[in-house]
Amino acid sequence: MGALAIKNVTKSFGDTHILKGIDIEIDSGQFLILVGPSGCGKSTLMNIIAGLEAPTTGEVHIGDRMVNNIAPKDRDIAMVFQSYALYPTMNVRQNIAFGMETRGVPKKEQEEIIARVAKMLQMDHLLDRKPSQLSGGQRQRVAMGRALARDPILFLFDEPLSNLDAKLRVEMRTEIKQLHHRLKTTIVYVTHDQIEAMTLGDKIAVMKDGVIQQFGSPQEIYEQPANLFVASFIGSPSMNFIPCHLAEQAGQIGVSLQSEGEARFVPLPNAAKLAGQVGKKVILGLRPEQFDAVENSENSLACKVHLTEPTGPDTMVLTQLNGIEICARLHPRDAKGPGETVRLKPDMTKAVVFDAETETRLA
Amino acid sequence: MPKFWRGVVYSALLLAALYYLLPLYVMVITSVKTMDQIRAGNLLSFPTSISFDAWSKAWSSACTGVECGGLKPFFWNSVRMVIPAVLISTSLGALNGYILSKWRFPHSELTFALILFGVFIPFQVVLLPMAQTLGWFGIARSVTGLVFVHCVFGLASTTLFFRNYYVGIPDELIKAARLDGAGFWRIFFRIVLPMSTPIVMVVLIWQFTQIWNDFLFGVVFSSGDSQPITVGLNNLANTSTTVKEYNVDMSAALIAALPTILVYVFAGKYFVRGLTAGAVKG
């Protein structure tokens, strides 16, 4: 049995169904990300894992125990909250000690643990300060210290970086990942930020409307999104979705791409999965980095540049394909200015195809 | 702002302050005058010599009806009433507010709305049923009875104050404490109550003023040796002897008002701070 298993968990308030049957299982030491837009039920699921809310149906297993009827404090978990939830009237030392005090950890052991945690997070000098005397990053650190002092079998992080500024967020992200490498404790991490999801997770559960849309490794989710929602949610800038019809030409199944009055048939990989569906309306998904600027090639299309967004290493070029605005990530040297024409060659080996009606991936 | 208008504003404020302070001035100077001075001078004239005889008479020997023991026994009745009543109603209000904001139960909002109703009920309406209740409990016409009445009727406003303050405390704090293994009482005493100083001060002052200054319940639900100071003051001022002793009346009124004035002087800054301190910054 894994470190955490969620079995067919649902949560309803009257006729409002927040979670509609969640199944997740991860191994010990894994970093699980619950990601999705606000209102998708990820925080509710987190509260159910923590025991702060009860599931309507289903089971939660932590370690080898079914914990549905076990109080939060006895689940051997520790949680870091978005607002840090530091006790404002206690100093840092007391904040960290509070949980140990309630659990009856001997005073001497408490002090050892506080010293160890403070050293690990480099916050020795903050121990006697009140939360109001700390910066956002320091509060975040203390909140993590409080969780670490618990030495649990499962860490829960509820959007812990959302209240930090952009620079600090990236630093703390790295720090959390390093911490995980060092401790090898199982972590469940809730976020709405797809970059945090990609950079931190061993496993990602993408949620929407109380349903897990896809559960897999970051790379799987990025390269083989299960449906249109996952494809659009993960990746920045977002994947380009080009509506087209499946066609057959010279024995190959592909789609027709048009730009500036020029149409070109491009064959699709995984054609076997698409056999017999010629003529079907589909959506071709191409990530911005799957475009190359070329001088002249038979599989390229001339596209008029509408706008460029240089990011430094790459330049985002906004143009049109099949009448839809698309974004291509090009090397700055290849990017043309607005109004000029660039020849784009799509890398079809990683292209994905979605059913235009059901929005699930066909190939 | 031009200097002229600033002058106008300050003059207006000064005038208003004088207007409000005038009665206090009259009371204080009258209380230290002798009856001869009062008869000789006018209401606003400064005393020629200062005498505290009227104060000591009001405190210990003025007649309040047939008794002539001054306000002293009434004052101590009020003290014996106000301290337990304030402490009990504040404690219960804090507990109610904590439960209604952080341990919601089915229909807790409705419960709160019903409690809130108590703030708007005119007290005259409940005089008769309350008299009957006090009789059943066997605490009619006693200080204990008054404490009970003030606790019951203070509860609505103390609950309202605490509940609205605690709504501003983030729920995540409670969740964090629950994960840390703390239960209902430990969270209340270790996390919530230490954050409550401003609102505790507000409610203490509020309740003290309300209960100390109450006349209606005092006059209805007490008699003889359980009457509070407001009733004593009324009796003292209404007991007619041959001459009306204005200096004694004024001294008595000041004695009755002194505790609330002192509470404002020493704790007033918490009152203003507590009323303006809404959300708790994490």
Cα-to-chain-centroid distance, residue B67 = 27
B173: nearest CB among A73, A85, A139: A85
CB contact B272 to A (< 8 Å):
no
Sort out which chain A residues have CB atoms less than 8 A from B173's CB and list them: 85, 87
CB A257 within 8 Å of CB A321: yes
Q: Which amino acid is at A107?
A: K
Whether residues A89 and B173 touch (CB distance < 8 A) is answered with no
For residue B99, what pLDDT is reported? Answer: 96
For the segment B174-188, what is each residue's pLDDT rounded down to a tens digit?
999 999 999 999 999
B224 belongs to a structural domain: yes
Indicate which of B173, B174, B180 best probes the interface with A, i.e. most A CBs within 10 Å of its own CB: B180
Do B206 and B98 share a structural domain? yes
Inform me whether the pLDDT recorded for B271 exceeds 80. Answer: no
Q: Do A52 and B181 touch (CB under 8 A)?
A: no
Q: Which domain holds residue B45?
A: 3-51
Which CATH code for domain A240-355? 2.40.50.140
Pairwise CB contact (< 8 Å): A79 & B178: no
Residue A216 has pLDDT above 50, yes or no: yes
Q: What is the pLDDT of residue A145?
A: 93
A240 pLDDT above the threshold of 70 = yes
Asked if A72 reaches chain B (Cβ–Cβ under 8 Å), the answer is yes
pLDDT of residue A261: 83
Segment A260-275 shows an average pLDDT of: 85
pLDDT tens per residue, range B12-62: 999 999 999 999 999 999 999 988 888 887 888 888 888 899 999 999 988
Cβ <8 Å between A87 and B173: yes
By the 10 Å C-beta count (0-12 exposed, 13-18 middle, 19+ buried), B151 is classed as buried
**Pair B22, B143 in one domain:** no
The answer to whether residues B18 and B135 belong to one domain is no
Instruction: Indicate whether B186 and B92 sit together in one domain.
Output: yes
| B106 part of contact set with chain A, CB < 8 Å | no
Q: Give the pLDDT confidence score for residue B192 in this predicted structure.
A: 95
Of A47, A73, A86, the CB nearest to B282: A86
Q: What pLDDT was estimated at residue B242?
A: 72
| Contact between chains at A85 and B182 (C-beta distance less than 8 A) | no
Sheet holding A301-304, edge to edge: A291-293, A341-346, A301-304
Omega before residue A237 within 30° of 0, cis: yes
Average pLDDT, chain A: 91
Using an 8 Å Cβ cutoff, are B231 and B15 in contact?
Answer: no
Q: Please give the pLDDT value at position B282.
A: 37
Regarding whether B251 and B136 lie in a shared domain, the answer is yes
pLDDT in tens, A325-360: 999 999 999 888 899 999 999 999 989 999 999 999
Same domain, B47 and B127: no
Specify whether B127 is located in the same domain as B250. yes
pLDDT at site B197: 87
pLDDT at residue A60 greater than cutoff 50: yes
Which residues 122-181 of B are in CB contact (within 8 Å) with A? 170, 172-173, 175-181
Contact B191 A89 (CB under 8 A): yes
Q: Is A252 on the interface with B (CB under 8 A)?
A: no
B179 vs A73, A84, A86: nearest CB: A73
pTM for this predicted structure: 0.84
Residue B61 placed within a domain: no
> Are residues B172 and A81, on separate chains, in Cβ contact within 8 Å?
yes
Please determine, for residue B241, whether its predicted confidence score (pLDDT) is greater than 80: no
Q: Tell me the average pLDDT across A119-135.
A: 91
Looking at the fold, whether B87 and B214 belong to one and the same domain comes out as yes
| Minimal Cβ distance to A85: which of B170, B194, B281 | B170
Closest CA of chain B from A87, distance in Å: 6
pLDDT given for residue B281 in this prediction: 43
Q: Is residue B235 within 8 Å of B166, Cβ to Cβ?
A: no
Per-residue pLDDT, B278:
43
**pLDDT for residue A278:** 87
Of A72, A84, A87, the CB nearest to B178: A72
Average pLDDT over residues A38-65: 93
What is the pLDDT at residue B15?
96
Candidates B104, B179, B188, partner chain A, best to mutate (most A CBs within 10 A): B179
Question: Do the beta carbons of residue B95 and residue B188 sit within 8 Å?
Answer: yes
pLDDT at B158 exceeding the cut of 60: yes
Q: Is B140 a domain residue?
A: yes
For residue A217, what are the contacts with CB-CB under 8 A and spacing of at least 6? A201, A202, A203, A204
Higher pLDDT, B277 or B96: B96
B99 occurs within a structural domain = yes
Contact criterion met (CB below 8 Å) for B157 and B90: no
Strands A154-158 and A262-267: unpaired
Examine the domain organization and report whether B23 and B77 are in the same domain: no
> Is pLDDT of A286 > 80?
yes
A16 in Cβ contact with A44 (< 8 Å): no
Residue B60 lies in a domain: no
Q: How many domains does chain B contain in total?
A: 2
Mean pLDDT (whole number) for A140-159: 92
- pLDDT at position A326 is 94
Which residues of chain A have a CB within 8 Å of the CB of B190? 87, 98
Query: Does the beta-carbon distance from A103 to B176 stay under 8 Å?
Result: no
CB contact residues (below 8 A), chain B span 190-209, against chain A: 190-191, 194-195
Least confident interval from B30-34, B44-48, B122-126, B157-161: B44-48
Note whether B179 and B90 are same-domain residues. yes
Quote the minimal CA–CA distance from A128 to chain B in Å.
Answer: 17
Residue B192 lies in a domain: yes
Residue A94 contacts B, CB cutoff 8 Å: no
In a domain, B62, yes or no: no
Shortest Cα distance from B89 to chain A (angstroms)? 25
Amino acid at B218: G
What whole-number distance in Å separates Cα of residue A350 and Cα of residue A314?
Answer: 20
Distance of residue B161 Cα from the nearest chain A Cα, in angstroms: 21
Is B198 part of any domain? yes
Distance to chain B for A132, nearest Cα, Å = 7
Give the pLDDT confidence score for residue A215 in this predicted structure: 96
Q: Mean pLDDT, to the nearest integer, of A27-38? A: 93
What's the average model confidence in pLDDT over B64-92? 93
Q: Is the CB of A79 inside 8 Å of chain B's CB atoms?
A: yes
User: Domain A4-233 belongs to what topology?
Assistant: Rossmann fold (3.40.50)
Tell whether A135 is within 8 A of chain B (Cβ). Answer: no
Task: Domain ranges for chain A, please list them.
Answer: 4-233, 240-355
- Check if the beta carbon of residue A358 is closer than 8 Å to that of residue A280: no
Share of chain A above pLDDT 70, in %: 99
Tell me whether B3 touches chain A (CB under 8 Å). no
The answer on pLDDT for B274 being more than 50 is yes
Chain A residues with CB inside 8 Å of B280's CB? Answer: 88
Nearest residue in A to B181, CA atom: A73
pLDDT at A336: 87
The minimal CB distance from B179 to the residues A79, A88, A132 is found for A79
Residues of B in contact with A50 (CB under 8 A): 175, 179
* Chain B: residue whose CA lies nearest to A76: B179
Chain A: closest CA distance from residue B193 (Å): 10
Strands lying side by side in the sheet with A307-310: A307-310, A315-321, A324-330
| Candidate from A78, A87, A132 with C-beta closest to B179 | A78
Q: Chains A, B: CB contacts under 8 A, how many? A: 63
Predicted pLDDT of residue B280: 40
CA angle A40, A46, A49 (to 5 degrees): 135
* Residue type, position A31, single letter: F
Percentage of chain B lying above the pLDDT 70 cut: 96
- Give B275's pLDDT tier (boundaries 50, 70, 90): low
pLDDT of residue B279: 36
Q: Phi and psi for A286 in degrees, rounded to 5?
A: -130, 125
Residues 6+ away with beta carbon under 8 Å from A252? A267, A271
Q: How far apart are CA A172 and CA B17, in angstroms?
A: 57
